[in-house]
Amino acid sequence: MEKHQLSFSTNAKLEKLIGRELITNNIIAIFELIKNSYDAFAHRATIKFENFHITYADTQKKGDGNRVISDFDSKIVIEDDGVGMSFEEVRTKWMEIGTTSKEDKFLEISTEETNDKRIMNGEKGIGRFGTDKLGSLLHLVSIGDGGYEKTIIDIDWNQFDDHTITIQDVAFDCFVERFTKPQKTGLTLEIKSLRDVWTKSDVIKLKRQLSKLISPFSQEQDKFKIYLNYNGQGQEQIEKWQ
């Protein structure tokens, strides 16, 4: 009898399982990404619909719910002014599957002016894969390390569809820039090659879902605001659902 040792290995398709199958729909995907903005102590998060056939005025009118509003060149950009991630954090937090850095449920940030305590949403460590649910191409720009470091990475999620390779075989170029003067921190996720066709009613459903993240207390509402932006023109703030 021969003795062997076996360990699990991870096929690249695991990523697809998490991103496209565990996260059930586009609305939940954006909801997860905005929860990450909150967890990163952002004061504002903006969801930009770019190259979409919709205006702010359209969203205020009733009816027309089934109208298709996306196109092949439509983009969804999610931007926040949270603490961002340094290159090292992108490497160890964003790119490492199965980990969450939010084991400590109550985190606080103290600056000279503010002392912000937040109860973390994150726990399952899958929210970032919501970007894959939304579209196959992700352009991530993170300014972290107190504003001194910018990291850019382009991810093509479809490269994980190959079942003959392991997850480690898929690699992407990453660019890092150091600044001498600190920049505004935060994370920007630009998602292209959207997987689904969007209709007007999807946007209405998204607004309703996001309103769940707004605190019922007015003094808390100033801490975290969510905006929707339509093609760089109309912008609206998500309010508590009545």
Ligand X SMILES: Nc1ncnc2c1ncn2[C@@H]1O[C@H](COP(=O)(O)OP(=O)(O)O)[C@@H](O)[C@H]1O
When asked if residue 48 is in the footprint of ligand X (CB under 6 A), the reply is: no
Selected range binding ligand X among 20-28, 121-129, 150-158, 203-211, rule: CB under 6 A: 121-129
Residue 119 in 3-state DSSP? strand
Beta carbon of residue 91, minimum distance to ligand X (angstroms, whole number): 11
When asked if residue 85 is in the footprint of ligand X (CB under 6 A), the reply is: yes
How far apart, in Å, are the Cα atoms of 187 and each of 34, 72, 183, 226? 11, 25, 12, 14
When asked if residue 36 is in the footprint of Mg ion (CB under 5 A), the reply is: yes
Binding mask 27-46 toward ligand X (x if CB under 6 A, else -) reads -----x---xx-xx------
Residue 70 contact, options Mg ion, ligand X, none, Cβ 5-8 Å cut-off depending on partner type: none
Beta carbon of residue 94, minimum distance to ligand X (angstroms, whole number): 5
Question: Token pair 């937040």 is at which residue?
Answer: 118
When asked if residue 144 is in the footprint of Mg ion (CB under 5 A), the reply is: no
How far apart, in Å, do the first and last CA atoms of the chain sit? Answer: 69
Buried b (16+ CB within 10 A) or exposed e, 87-99: bebbeebbeeeee
Mark out the alpha helices in the chain (DSSP H runs). 13-16, 26-39, 56-60, 87-89, 130-134, 200-210, 218-221
- How far apart CA 6 and CA 101 sit, in angstroms, is 29
Beta carbon of residue 43, minimum distance to ligand X (angstroms, whole number): 12
Beta carbon of residue 168, minimum distance to ligand X (angstroms, whole number): 18
Q: How many residues does the chain have?
A: 242
When asked if residue 100 is in the footprint of ligand X (CB under 6 A), the reply is: yes
Chain positions contacting Mg ion, by CB under 5 A? 36, 122, 127
Chain positions contacting ligand X, by CB under 6 A? 32, 36-37, 39-40, 80, 82, 84-85, 93-94, 100-102, 122-128, 187
